[in-house]
Chains A and B, each alone.
Chain A
Amino acid sequence: MEGSTSVRTGSRTRVRSRPRYAKPTPPWWRSVLGWLLKDPVRLLAAAGALLLIMTAPFGGWRTAEPEQARVLQVGEQGTFAPFELTVHSAGVTRSQPGFVLSPLRLREKGAPGDGLYVVVLATVRTTSDLTVTGVTAPTITDLLWPADLPRPVENGAPADPDRPLSAVVYNRADFSQLSGVGPGLTYEVAFVYATASPVAELPETLTFTVQQHTYRADTFDRSTTAWLSPETVAEIELPLGPVPPDAFGSPNSEGTP
């Protein structure tokens, strides 16, 4: 007989009825799972919350720390696609004999009328087999960005300090303006930045960030490929000194007004 137990004791047989048990309580996790499965939205929300909890040991919602930029030393060669760069020195100058062609161009970039410039001397090559020009993307002018140089005055007000300050790049051999680099060619260049700060307010050391670019198709015009997406991958600290007298060689006869 299902549900009962017969117990023979002497002449009497006592039938013991099935004991009454309370319905067993399911484990808590099963209750929670059942509650979640009742509603897909609830389930998705729970899955998201679980994922967030799992990321907690790695920072959760905290703002990610930027990757540590490589520290480039003076005189050390580094490869920052599409260029190989060796920085030699930095200096401050007003008008230089070699600047005969530059004031108009620099004034366009916001230089003060009397001309106060930070000049970084460097050697640049390219790792690309194609000429890297400034026609499609101004990569060489954005190779070095001064991080803490007081910005020049533009339209009567200091330029936005958060906006990268591009350089005007000169080939020191003949002081022609350089917009790029062709394969197999090495240039001794001067990165020239205009600043609004009097010399006395300039720090003794300036920090420059070095940008690397990616050769990829343009987002809007897939058939155009260029060096795009500047990304800061290194920085270099340069003590400011006077610009060497031979920074721009001897002005050639045709370039001197």
Chain B
Amino acid sequence: MTRGWGGRAGAGVLVLIALGVGQAIGSVPRYDATFEAPHPVDGRVGEAVPMRAGSLLVTSAQVGTSAGTGVGGLVTDDAFVLVTLEFTPNERDDSILWAELRDTSGRTWSNTVHGTRNCMLVPPHLTGACYYLIEAPAEALPGATIALSTSANDQRFDSMAVVDLGLDADQVEAGTTTGAHLDIPYTALVDPGSTVPGGPSATTPTGAGPGPTTSTGGTP
């Protein structure tokens, strides 16, 4: 059967309508990334930060140019920042498994590049002390914050601690120009707040505790 021009024109119009409907459907915003963004909880060094999975306390931030770990020393021409923290899970074994250092201009650094961490799972209602070591340019550290999450691979939907490290230019210079060496502490179960400089003494059932720390520099 041969279709006339009228039929062809009708089919063409239908095709155009279908394309228009497809275009309209495609332009409907189907995905909004804002609803899945992590929920930031701001904090400072020495202040408890309530997170969904537990309570976080960043106890110190130290700057240096070398750091000792269990398998070898790390050195840098820039700066290492060693952030020690305590985490007390609420309801299940948990820990701080992800960190990101952020400067005031929006740049980010990860411990996975040239750094390390030793945060391990802690049973609920017990407090574990651990650390993150992150390398960054010295000029990025004054005013820097550290973002911390309990999920290593997917930080969406959950609370995220964003802690001001309280570092100023003098403290950073003191840590870098003297070539301060950062002693890496062991993982330890501790009394909450015991590793804050000036706090109660730590109980260290799994190794030598971090002990009191200073906010700048380390062991030269």
What residues of chain A have their CB less than 8 Å away from a CB belonging to chain B?
A: 38-40, 101, 129-131, 133-135, 171, 173-176, 178-187, 222-223, 252-255
Structural contact, A255 and B75, CB atoms closer than 8 A: no
What residue in chain B is nearest A131 (Cβ atoms)?
A: B110
Residues of B within 8 A of A187 (CB): 114
**Residue from B31, B77, B113 with most neighbouring chain A CB atoms (10 Å):** B113
Mark out the residues of chain B between 54 and 80 whose CB falls within 8 Å of any chain A CB in the assembled complex: 68-69, 71-78
B72 and A255 within 8 A (CB): yes
Q: Which residues of B contact A252 (CB under 8 A)?
A: 72-73, 75
Contacting pair A254 B113 (CB below 8 A): no
**Nearest chain A residue, comparing its CB with the CB of B154:** A224
A137 CB to nearest chain B CB (Å): 13
- Say yes or no: A185 contacts B137, CB within 8 Å: yes
A176 touches B114 (CB 8 A): yes
- Is B2 interfacial (CB 8 A cutoff)? yes
Q: Does B156 contact A (CB under 8 A)?
A: yes
Partner of A253, one of B73, B110, B114: B73
Are the C-beta atoms of A184 and B136 separated by less than 8 Å?
yes
Interface-lining segment among B84-92, B101-109, B205-213: B101-109
With A and B bound together, what is the CA distance between A12 and B73 in angstroms?
130
Are A179 and B112 in touch, CB under 8 angstroms?
Answer: yes
A-B contact pairs, 19 of them (CB 8 A): A129-B105, A129-B106, A131-B100, A131-B110, A133-B110, A135-B153, A174-B72, A174-B73, A176-B72, A182-B135, A182-B136, A183-B107, A184-B137, A184-B140, A185-B114, A223-B31, A223-B33, A252-B73, A254-B71
Known: A40-B8, A129-B107, A223-B156. A135 touches B112 (CB 8 A): yes
The answer on a CB contact under 8 Å between B114 and A171 is yes
Interface mask (B90-128 → A, CB under 8 Å = 1, otherwise 0): 000000000010000111111011100000000000000
Smallest Cβ-Cβ distance to A180: which chain B residue: B113
B170 within 8 A of A: no
The residue that A174 contacts in the complex, of B75, B109, B112, B156, with Cβ under 8 A, is: B75
**What is the bound-complex CA distance between A117 and B8, given in angstroms?**
68
Given contacts A173-B77, A222-B31, A223-B31, contact A182 B109 (CB under 8 A): yes
Q: A176-B74, A252-B75 are in contact. List 4 more A-B contacts (CB 8 A).
A: A131-B108, A176-B114, A178-B113, A182-B109
Please list the 8 inter-chain residue pairs (A to B) with the smallest Cβ-Cβ separation, ordered nearest first.
A255-B72, A184-B137, A182-B109, A180-B113, A254-B73, A131-B110, A183-B107, A129-B107
B113 touches A181 (CB 8 A): yes
Q: Which residues of B contact A183 (CB under 8 A)?
A: 107-109, 137
A252 to B68, CA, bound (A): 11
On chain B, the residues within 8 Å of A40 by CB distance are: 3, 8
- Pick the contact of B2: A38, A223, A253 (CB < 8 A): A38
Question: CB distance B113 to A133 under 8 Å?
Answer: yes
B75 CB, nearest partner CB in chain A, Å:
5
- Collect the chain B residues with CB atoms within 8 Å of residue A133's CB: 110, 112-113
Instruction: Establish whether residues B72 and A129, one from each chain, have CB atoms under 8 Å apart when the complex forms.
Output: no
A173 nearest CB neighbor, chain B only? B75
